[in-house]
Chain A
């Protein structure tokens, strides 16, 4: 049946509403904003990169199968493990997680899509761009070869002169943007779009884990963004962030990387924990034991995950106090993680267990992650870690938690949700066989690596001598790796057979507990004919087997099919091609950075144009005027606050670096010799006053005073331009006096910090002028006040950051 090709309000009986969202053409997929399609895109794309990363792994294992092997050269090997790590983490596991976030979260909370469907599509296309850019380095013959955590100063222009590291930096930055945008989207969705009656504590654990992960992403990516900016500036513009001769501290890169890197491992594994927390109860026919505790422990892990990062640096020489502090913090964080294992065990105890394929993988996670977690506890003790780190012991540990944990969890999710997504069942027998091949292959590949580490084999070596006693372990490990490959192949066979002629799946094949099983397999474009009633946690189970409790007091009663549903208007988001345009612009800019500055300009222009058209696409769509959610808050306002939280980390990292490097410059000038406090006081005053003008502008828009709105909007932008003028004057003065970006460490930190702030101001000015132009054309009414409000929040935040910079950089001696 034909489907509407643009977003329209659909009227009519739900059963008459069309099924699959838009036409199944290429254009349909390129412009989709449907969370289900985007989920499938993430899953398929992630799988392609997963195969690539797997191939890289097999080449690594072939090379290491015997001593002094010559399958690949040293150069190639170093590129292989760099690409393998980067690919598996950013282009495989994270997209697989995203696939499930996208497809399942709206269904699990009884929503029809995410808060910002076009932004959702944008995240996918930016991810694809980043992934293609990274692998373009292979095509160019210059892949990065510095390890997936690229320690400075091996990554400097001097020691890594080719473009490989540049490809790596730019791809990671692009991928970071994709992830943070998606994080903001899902936080607003989960907080603000839950069905009536679904309180936070009634949400499925998978949704809770998703929520924690999104906060981790939003807050952990800014530090590495900053670290990569520093590296990029060192390589492209001659700054000194990682230049030892100029007084830099090489630990800075490690700190910035791992402040991101440690939360990242929870980003990778918490979704798998969430999946297992859905799968085990379903197949044990019992609720998750201690669900609130599992939820709280997930939140605790997320929070404390920010406090353990230097356990990756026990050999770096931080001193006994720092070592001890991080050791204790790391041990503490293992408690909420371990408690989950017990909760899962207790869930199974007393149940009636159906050992489906999905169940096999979930149990696999419980067992294998326990092993990985225990080797992690061993690493948490610095003395022991001094033997184990940078050896194959840690390689064993990380693969037990990432494959044994994340991958097994993802396979569990795949077998569990495949019927819902495709409308067909995966073969159970083949699934169980696949599990056992994976289990055997994986353990054969990685258990011996604990021994290899204990026998002193360092990591990241392309070959080893025959008399080190490492030969047998390596050979066994290689066989196991190929076993993993076979298992992946079996999955592909299973998937293919299922799609071609698999048994059709009913809506609820597993006698499930949560809301996604309440709609058809696959769901219609609009997910639910009517928003489902919520009776508590495991709401659908209660609906089937009781006890039913009414929705939370004060919430609107659940709509029943007969009453409210039939004539309810369902607004489906319209497809849009602007996400792909913006993503194209970004990758073009990145390519320009690797080739010619004119292409950078082209890319930036395309991106900006795309953003403008994206932003104005639905300026007049009445259905978009009111975006108030469950918490009584506008989606866009909530999103802006989450973004500002993320920006706290961005500027916090920049300021911390400035302070860390203060006084370490080897040559002058020093701050007190060059900073002009009187002039900067004026510009500070100017920015403060601009915030006053901004609130006046918002007040004017809110009461429909068009004249004053135009006046104050322009005024704010003008004051912003004055601030930029002051900054331009200051920068040119400094350069004339010989104080440049490259002059010394102070130059690097000062110009990058204030320059990035200035860039934020400039973007704000652009934003305000755009609103002013809309107002001039009479297209900024009371209904658009929220748009002005969020611009105002951004503007005030930029002001507030300047307050901090003015004090910490200019005033404090």
Chain B
């Protein structure tokens, strides 16, 4: 059941007006809804914002006025009337806030239950595993495993199950909805239906260690046919390689890389991200840098220098070796 357009519109208007209209389309903006979940949230967000701003203006205005009106100046009574209270007034201003809170509470409870309802049968099941400091995504239905970039189809409900093998993280893609913690030992759920194809930025939102700041992610919302193509590409056989890429593959297969990373048909390490379609991702190292040969080469030579505390060590590759492996990896689409 879709949230009505009108409330979402008012919500967006309220908050964006207050943001002064500046940079409201920032990549991590919480007021640019691109899913039903985000829209539901923005609806309540708009209400609470209006209420908050209204009360702030009334109270601030009253405060300023009272101080000016009753300040000590010639003619002011030395001893003003020692009013101790006024029961009716006090009762009224206790009940009034309660009523205002009702205006917030009712839509709040409605949206809580709507957005935490069990996902519909046709939802696409995805398992999200938060690691220090990267994201693993598994599609059980398709037997696809990828990392740091999540592809989802537009217009179809997506049911994320959040798991944590190490510490607590938090999955947050603001334009697609609110955040949900990844708690080791528990299975948390997040369900949403993205409506607009595009690329959305996300980031871990629970402090998880040294490189918490570098645990980003991208969510690519694909039109249904594009999504089907992406799934097929994940499972496709890798192309024949030549030149630098072939060299890179040889270096990869002979190095410690294979102990941590999986590349379909080459290695099956499980400690680091699956690299089988690394080249198709727009960023590397969990949103750290755009995927270019230069960046990948720099990363390969010394990961902790770019991402403090990264568990991938510097492998002692020469410039040429690193470039070769980079070329190979970028070719993995």
Contacts and interface: CB of A to CB of B under 8 A. Distances in A.
A244 B94 CA distance: 46
B18 to A, nearest CB: 8
Contacts of B79: 285, 352, 545
Q: Is the interface on chain A under 10, 10 to 19, 20 to 34, or 35 or more residues? A: 35 or more
A354 B73 CA distance: 9
A353 B80 CA distance: 10
Contacts of A508: none
B254 interface: no
Contact of B62 (A244, A345, A388, A470): A345
Interface string A344-385: 011011111111000000010011001100110110111111
B275 interface: no
B56 A248 contact: no
A648 to B, nearest CB: 30
B30 A350 contact: no
B267 interface: no
A291 B82 contact: no
A679 interface: no
A286 B82 CA distance: 5
A387 B174 contact: yes
B174 A370 contact: no
A748 to B, nearest CB: 15
A319 interface: yes
A58 B142 CA distance: 50
A43 B48 CA distance: 39
Contact of A350 (B31, B45, B80): B80
A464 interface: yes
A464 B27 CA distance: 12
A678 interface: no
Nearest to A470: B26
Contacts of A457: 28
A463 interface: yes
B213 interface: yes
Interface in B67-104: 67, 70-72, 76-86, 89-90, 93-94, 97-98, 101, 104
Interface string B157-191: 00000100011101010100111110111101100
Nearest to A386: B178
A648 B266 CA distance: 61
Interface in B189-224: 189, 201, 203-213
B60 interface: yes
B186 A151 contact: no
B84 A351 contact: no
Contacts of B72: 352-355
A355 B67 contact: yes
Interface stretch (B108-116, B148-156, B238-246, B291-299): B108-116
B48 A367 contact: no
B213 A468 contact: no
Given A284-B70, A456-B27, A315 B44 contact: no
Interface string A396-437: 000000000000000000000000000000000000000000
Contact of A317 (B62, B70, B77, B183): B183
B49 to A, nearest CB: 7
A338 B97 contact: yes
Which of A251, A292, A351 counts the most B-chain CB atoms under 10 A from its CB? A351
A323 interface: yes
A342 interface: yes
Nearest to B104: A381
A230 to B, nearest CB: 15
B325 to A, nearest CB: 26
Nearest to B108: A381
Interface stretch (A70-78, A202-210, A263-271, A680-688): A70-78
Q: Is the interface on chain B under 10, 10 to 19, 20 to 34, or 35 or more residues? A: 35 or more
A78 B210 contact: yes
Contacts of A378: 45, 48-49, 52
B27 A244 contact: no
B1 interface: no
B314 interface: no
A153 B178 contact: no
A389 interface: yes
A384 B48 contact: yes
Contacts of A469: 23, 26-29
B308 A73 contact: yes
Given A381-B108, A455-B23, A244 B185 contact: yes
B66 A348 contact: yes
B29 A456 contact: yes
B55 A383 contact: no
A489 to B, nearest CB: 27
Contact of A381 (B48, B174, B207): B48
Contact of A287 (B24, B82, B98): B82
Contacts of B211: 74
A334 B112 contact: no
Given A151-B207, A250-B185, A387-B45, A334 B55 contact: no
Nearest to A461: B213
A177 interface: no
Closest 6 CB pairs of A and B: A386-B178, A456-B28, A469-B26, A461-B213, A317-B188, A244-B185
Given A248-B185, A335-B101, A381-B104, 16 more contacts: A78-B207, A147-B207, A154-B208, A250-B183, A250-B184, A286-B80, A323-B116, A331-B105, A346-B86, A355-B71, A367-B59, A381-B48, A381-B108, A383-B44, A453-B30, A456-B27
26 contacts: A75-B308, A151-B168, A159-B132, A250-B183, A284-B70, A285-B78, A317-B162, A319-B116, A327-B108, A341-B59, A345-B59, A345-B66, A352-B77, A354-B72, A366-B63, A374-B56, A377-B104, A381-B48, A383-B44, A387-B30, A454-B31, A455-B28, A456-B26, A456-B30, A469-B28, A470-B26
Interface of B: 15, 19, 23-24, 26-31, 40-41, 44-45, 48-49, 51-52, 55-56, 59-60, 62-63, 66-67, 70-72, 76-86, 89-90, 93-94, 97-98, 101, 104-105, 108-109, 111-113, 115-116, 132, 162, 166-168, 170, 172, 174, 177-181, 183-186, 188-189, 201, 203-213, 308-309
